[in-house]
Structure 1
Amino acid sequence: MTTSVVSGGTRGIGRALSLRLAALGHRVIALYRGDDRAAEQTEKAGEGRIATLRCDLTRPHEIQAVCDRITGEYGAPAVLVNNAGVNRDRPFLSMTAEDWDTVLATNLSGPFHLSRALAPVMVEAGGGGIVNVASTTAIRPRRDGANYCASKAGLIQLTKCLALELAPHIRVNALLPGFTDTDEVTERYRLDDPERLATVLDTIPARRLGTTDDMADALEYLVTARGGYVTGQQLIVDGGHFMG
């Protein structure tokens, strides 16, 4: 059975990605930081194909330990999805060193350490695919998000560098979601306010928010044979919100 690892794999987009890989027949190891209830619910929804492991991606020693456990119990993964991310939004002049360090450690250093720990065994086992979940704010800035935008921009460049260095054994791509209908996005942008939601929808040619299934569809393309000639690329899934 193919093994996949999804960081941040028990909530929001990450949960949908874990469930899609499970539906494709993968044994999924979903990493999470602290929400045990979400982890239990995701395992249950996976109907025996999803196992969850706690891991704080700001701690490289925890990452190495969980990767050693994964490879020891399940073997080399064929797919790694670096999805975990955090926001600490505030104006740049009010942003603290902790705000900066926590976001960069989770969103950029976390994928680096996970990829570095798992890529060698993936290559040895015959290769596979890595998908880094970035954001359209990696290529278009927004207010109060200097740390988040910088982390996701760095993740895109990390994607390209890994695609060069790990080829031809491992394909590495970035998935860039736009406004997606998750609890986190609704809360952060206050989209439960009909006026604010209408304002956002006016900027999206598709006139709707993305769904987590939209993101899972994109992931499925990137990790299956249909995307077998795609590496080092940015797949933007945002209903036309950003056209660069």
Structure 2
Amino acid sequence: MKTALVTGAGRGIGRAIALRLAKDGFRVIVNYARDSAAAEEVVRLIGANAVAVRADLGVPEDVARLAERVADETDVLDVLVNNAGIGTSKPLVQETEEGYDRLFAVNVKGLFFLTRQVLPLIPDGGRIVNITSGVARIAFPEAIAYSMTKGAVQVFTLALAKELGPRGITVNNVAPGIIDTDVNAGWLRGNPEALAYAASRHALNRIGLPEEIANVVAFAASPEASFITGTTLDATGGGNL
């Protein structure tokens, strides 16, 4: 049985990815930062082929412990899904140094060093999938620092795909648009005007579902995607076309 690590898998898009990969036959290591009950629920839904591991990717010691735990759980990590991330909606003049540092610690530094530390476990022909965002290809001053982190991950993906290509390891981004998750619930759910605005940002005129992003990740992690690397699979529903 193949093994996948999904970071930030307790809720939202990460939860959907973990469930989809389990459906596809993977044993799933479910990483979470704080909500142990949500992560354990994902493990319960998957069954015996899942384990929950707490680690805050913004804390280097946690990143190291997560990598060690993955190595304890498996000798081979077939798929790494770097999904964990935090977001904020602040323009340049409102962003704080503390907020900026936290964004880059989780979204970029944690992702970078976790990937480096588990890379010895990833076999030839393995898969790395990074969850970025549609904001990386548009001007989005409302969340400038967040957008910068996703741009950094895209550059990381491009370089790593080149480095690992000779081993047949593919490295790709999946870029969601506005998705119906708990993160967006505060400004979307129960607010028809906000929901209409969010939908209007997409050519399909609706917001996306976590399962729709999970489907794209599952493709990127599959044998069918063996000749796709160093690119972004846009899952924004035609965002800002």
Q: Residues 142, 186 of structure 1: CA spacing in aligned structure 2 closer, same or farther, 3 A cutoff? A: farther
2:86 corresponds to: 86
**Equivalent in the alignment of 1:159:** 157
CA distance in 1, matches of 2:63, 2:200: 41
Residue number in structure 2 paired with 1:208:
206
Structure 1 unmatched runs, 5+: none
Counterpart amino acid of 1:217?
Answer: N
Alpha-carbon displacement from aligned partner over 1:183-211 (angstroms, at most 9, x marks no partner)? 21232x43531122122223322122111
State the distance in 1 between where 2:149 and 2:174 align: 14
Shift of 1:59: 1.9
Name the aligned partner's letter for residue 145 of structure 2.
Answer: N
Where in structure 2 are there 5+ consecutive unaligned residues? Answer: none
What's the C-alpha RMSD, in Å, of the aligned pairs?
1.4
Match of 1:144 in 2: 142
What is the correspondence of 1:46-61 to structure 2 with a 5 Å cutoff?
46-61=46-61
Between 1:170-179 and 1:43-52, the stretch displaced more is: 43-52
Matched-pair contact (CA < 8 Å) for 1:18–1:50: no
Residue 168 of structure 1, CA deviation: 2.7
Matched, 1:172 2:168: no
Residue in structure 2 matched with residue 183 of structure 1 by the alignment: 182
Matching residue of 2:111: 111
Give the alignment of 1:66-85 within 5 angstroms: 66-85=66-85
Name the SS for the 2:57 alignment partner.
coil
CA distance in 2: counterparts of 1:17 and 1:139, whole angstroms: 23
8 A Cα contact 2:201 2:240, kept in partner: no
Letter in 1 for 2:171: V
**Runs of at least 4 residues of structure 1 off by over 6 A?**
none
Identity of aligned residues (%): 34
Whole-angstrom CA distance in 2 between matches of 1:23 and 1:50: 12
Paired residues, number: 240
Distance 2:52 2:24 in 1: 18
TM-score, with length taken from structure 2: 0.95
